Structure 1
């Protein structure tokens, strides 16, 4: 079974800028109906899809926020075909330097929030027979590049494991999950990245990859996609 078809509905967190906004643009161009979760809906410019798009308040730190967003999505569109968990935070500290509240914050947003969001949408994803989950992870979920990326990397390793756990839980229901693992992307989060911004992976590159993965049939599931802007050993 394929995820292709008209009227498909995707929920995208962190969709107001950067990678999330690029994913929304590409999926809108592929005729997906968009439900965008953002912290401040009133601060968002005209979204992709215009008035046909649902822009809903969503705070990854708020443990009830995902339920209201899922309910609003179903009330508006009547279905959920895919979830793209893109919202994330970076605290550049080693695991030795990080304070407990910083550890809690990183794990709340990067690990627990996507888990809660997928759980809330699970009945609707299951009902399609070809539900899709995309977790925007990082190459930091596959290697620890420096001490200062340590805290972030531990959370992203957990998010990568979460993606595989979702694949295991949803396989017989037709749900397929993919971890998108880019290195530095030309966004605000990568402002201190080495190299010029035009040398980095672009948000639109990620948008194209997500659009491609969401159109793959159940028989061609991709678990992980590492994305490099610079040569790295074995990645």
Structure 2
């Protein structure tokens, strides 16, 4: 997405313009911060004829690749060699949002997907929604809600009819769940061993469960599980299970065995 802000100026006036973003981090709020010097806007802001400003008509700021963190108050100032104006003018408040699919439990074995946004995307007060399954349209004239089975491993996204150019991020169950161990080399008896569970998921994983020989660990519910004093009794298979609102996915088992000491 992109945003255009237009600021009118007197005809024929040679000006140097900037459109600052209001920030609490300013040393003095009366001093504007030029967007072209803000690292968060590198390559995404453009002032028309910024170097010369010889054109007449409105001065334009273009922001491309809009992000939610761009939501802020924007202000316009201009100055000549001996005059500066605009600090006291009201700013323009920008709110950037997007479509989002929320996952809600709906009875045993069911999930309700809800397509939501905080802004109005069309002039229609009762918009029609389109649902996508694995990026292919699956329901073209729908409401904002869609029911699926909790066992469904497909990915789902949504958009509003008439604004198919705007689509939500897809939601899907955890996938590519795996366990890594540190240190990765030979483990010495009595040493500390750290297990980490990784998974790709949207919504992000909100719960991890650890298993030792297919039995759950006591207090093994974080992404990282640490064994502070590894003994031979800790030999065997480890795996984890990643959960999010869509469902869960087990990792493959990881075998950890202490090397036998020479007699």
Q: Provide TM-score, normalisation by structure 1.
A: 0.24
Higher strand share: 2
Q: Which has the larger radius of gyration?
A: 2
Q: Determine which structure has greater relative contact order: mean sequence separation of CA pairs < 8 Å that are 6+ residues apart, divided by chain length.
A: 1
Higher helix share: 1
Q: Provide TM-score, normalisation by structure 2.
A: 0.22
